[in-house]
Structure 1
Amino acid sequence: MVEAQSLGGALLVALGAAPGACLRWWLVRRWSPHWAGRHQRRHLPGTAGTPWATMAVNGMASGVLGVLVGVLAARPQEEVWLWLGVGFAGSLSTFSTLMVDMALLLRTGHRQEALGLAGASVVVGYSLLALGLALGGVLAP
């Protein structure tokens, strides 16, 4: 879907990425305390609650991508895809942070928590993607 390799395309990605990354940072900071009590009781590594907040934000990004793909399926618009799909949703989600969270959990012997995080991430991400695709299909012109 993305073929443009122009400076304009790169600027569109950057214009979408900046707010997406800021929103991710804000949401993870805001949602982490909701999972912090469980995190601290189990003596899990890393910032309290962050792995589950990251999973929630990744799920949200999957839903955004689903809506975008559903809306653009009928009339693909490369500029909109670069701006919102690659830029905004791409920076909103963070696969690398999920992998770091899982590595920390595994390295400290919290295998069940790591497995739960991986499973929940896939189920939540796919479910919100499917929901977004359905919603995007309804919203498509």
Structure 2
Amino acid sequence: MSNLIWVALGGALGAVGRYLVGKFFATDAVMGFPFATLIVNIVGCFALAFLYAHLLTATGQQQQHWLFLGVGLIGAFTTFSTFSLEFVLLAQQGEFIKAASYASLSFIGCLLATVSGLWLKANI
């Protein structure tokens, strides 16, 4: 149960952080470019990779740190960071076909799911 609490606490902070970045860059939406999402994704990718690398050598309560910061805070801030880390780890392990498949299927699958969701809403 304590693991769920760590994830929930981190997730709450990450979601609030994502909201605040969106509010701060709300004027950029007028320019027609999603700067807030781009910034969140880049910052989240850096933060998750740094945390992952740091926790590889950490001892003690690293699981709770990972759950709070990695899964909760950064996970709620941006899920693109998790995708990016998983892709890079597959590539580093020499799993290039898996990495390319993951990236391709994620990109195409997510776009198709988005189009399908919008189509379904418009046709129900």
Please state if 1:69 is matched with 2:36. Answer: no
Q: Name the CA shift for 1:94/1:73 in 2 (closer, same or farther; >3 Å).
A: closer
Please give the root-mean-square deviation of Cα atoms over the aligned residues, in Å. Answer: 2.2
The structure in which a higher percent of residues are helix is 2
SS of residue in 1 equivalent to 2:58: coil
Moved over 6 A (4+): none
Identity of aligned residues (%): 33
Distance 2:47 2:64 in 1: 16
Q: How many angstroms apart in 2 are the aligned matches of 1:32 and 1:22?
A: 15
Instruction: From 9, 14, 24, give the equivalent of 2:8.
Output: 14
- Aligned partner of 1:82 in structure 2 is 67
> Is 1:52 paired with 2:35?
yes
Q: Distance in 2 between matches of 1:18 and 1:85?
A: 13
Specify every segment of 5 or more residues in structure 2 that has no aligned partner in the other structure, as ranges: 81-109, 119-124
1:30 and 2:30 are equivalent in the alignment: no
Higher RCO, Cα 8 Å, sep 6+: 1
- TM-score, normalisation: structure 1: 0.52
1:94/1:81 Cα in 2 relative to 1: closer, same or farther (>3 Å)? Answer: closer
Asked if 2 retains the 8 angstrom alpha-carbon contact of 1:20 and 1:87, the reply is: yes
